[in-house]
């Protein structure tokens, strides 16, 4: 059996440099000029990032072993699925601020770059807390179960970007131009530096991702507490979020039950963390080891079921809407009576 390699800071540095290279190539070459990202282009980028993630999982098998490759894949699917809910929130934000389609990619690019930094810090903090206080895994597990149940029964109240406290602070302390200034986040207006509406959109997107990260990062700790696996699975999920937005934004109606599926996933991973918290002190009779392969299968089945039910419900409603209602159907004229015209 081939010995697994030891993860060192150089592996983190090499991975981050590769990601930064691809991001620079994306913004500096493929999206140097602002343009509307069409469905085919977005689908191609989504396919590229998913394929790269699967390739990375394949490379982990000889380098770190099959178990860690499965942990990465399971964590990646969990993080990507939770990011899909973020996609629909971003769509609402863009609609609220009336962001022109050609500028949306730039907001998502810098938003995702900021999200990578924030999640890196949160992952490092989470790993440090787990190593210092093993019992905190129970706190994470309870938090995920409560969050999943709350998401399942919570009424849809919509998203209200205008209530974002950071947005209010930005408008209070910085002048904001009344109109977009191309792709600029900062410009000169009335003789001084001012934020553009695009900067406010970026601020709201960043804070939204931070709120979603509070749920998604504890969720992956139910699968693994290995820092490199947690970090890389989060990075690949976030990188695929940008192109995934342009693929799914126009098909939100086909994912109506996705939130239900995500809530079930959160409850499942929360229960898994409570039953098998690894580093936390626990009696032997309490521990229930749920294999990574079983976790991967359960998560995949839950998400696929939610998506299939959503698609079927939407198609059923469209077929029903296409059929004329009974009150709209005009009765055919009755044939003349045989005795008509006769005295």
pTM to 2 decimals?
Answer: 0.77
Query: Phi and psi for 155 in degrees, rounded to 5?
Result: -70, 150
* Short-list 119, 76, 2, CA closest to 292: 76
| pLDDT tens digits, 35-85 | 777 778 778 888 888 899 999 999 999 888 888 999 999 889 888 888 777
Q: Is the pLDDT of residue 193 over 60?
A: yes
Query: Phi and psi for 333 in degrees, rounded to 5?
Result: -65, 135
* Short-list 262, 282, 279, CA closest to 270: 262
Q: Count CB neighbours of 47 within 10 A.
A: 13
| pLDDT tens digits, 72-122 | 998 898 888 887 777 777 877 888 888 888 888 888 888 888 888 888 888
| pLDDT tens digits, 202-229 | 888 888 888 777 777 888 888 888 889 9
* Short-list 304, 305, 289, 119, CA closest to 219: 119
* Short-list 89, 87, 92, 106, CA closest to 198: 106
């Amino acid at each position: 059996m081939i010995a697994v390699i030891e993860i060192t800071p150089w592996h983190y540095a090499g991975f981050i440099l590769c990601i930064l290279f691809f991001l620079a190539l994306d913004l500096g070459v493929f999206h140097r000029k602002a343009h509307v990202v069409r469905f085919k282009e977005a689908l191609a980028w989504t396919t590229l990032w998913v394929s790269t993630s699967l390739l990375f999982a394949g490379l982990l098998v000889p380098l770190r072993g099959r178990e860690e490759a499965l942990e990465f894949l399971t964590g990646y699917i969990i993080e990507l699925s939770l990011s899909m809910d973020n996609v629909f929130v971003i769509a609402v934000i863009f609609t609220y601020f009336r962001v022109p389609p050609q500028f949306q990619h730039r907001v998502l690019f810098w938003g995702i770059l900021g999200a990578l930094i924030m999640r890196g810090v949160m992952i490092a903090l989470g790993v440090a807390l787990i190593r210092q206080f093993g019992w905190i895994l129970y706190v994470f597990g309870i938090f995920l179960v409560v969050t999943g149940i709350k998401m399942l029964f919570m009424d849809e109240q919509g998203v209200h970007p205008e209530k974002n406290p950071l947005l209010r602070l930005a408008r209070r302390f910085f002048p904001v131009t009344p109109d977009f200034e191309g792709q600029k986040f900062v410009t000169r207006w009335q003789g001084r530096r001012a934020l553009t509406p695009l900067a406010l959109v970026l601020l709201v997107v960043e804070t939204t991702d931070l709120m979603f990260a509070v749920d998604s990062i504890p969720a992956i700790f139910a699968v693994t507490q290995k820092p490199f696996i947690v970090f890389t699975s989060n990075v690949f999920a976030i990188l695929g979020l940008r192109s995934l937005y342009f693929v799914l934004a126009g098909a939100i109606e086909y994912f109506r039950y996705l939130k239900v599926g995500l809530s079930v996933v959160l409850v499942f991973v929360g229960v898994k963390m409570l039953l098998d918290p690894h580093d936390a002190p626990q009696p032997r009779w309490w521990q229930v080891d749920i294999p990574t392969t079983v976790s991967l299968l359960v998560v995949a089945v839950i998400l696929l079921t939610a998506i299939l039910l959503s698609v079927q419900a939407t198609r059923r409603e469209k077929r029903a809407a296409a059929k004329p209602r009974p009150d709209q159907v005009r009765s055919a004229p009755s044939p003349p009576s045989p005795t008509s015209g006769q005295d």
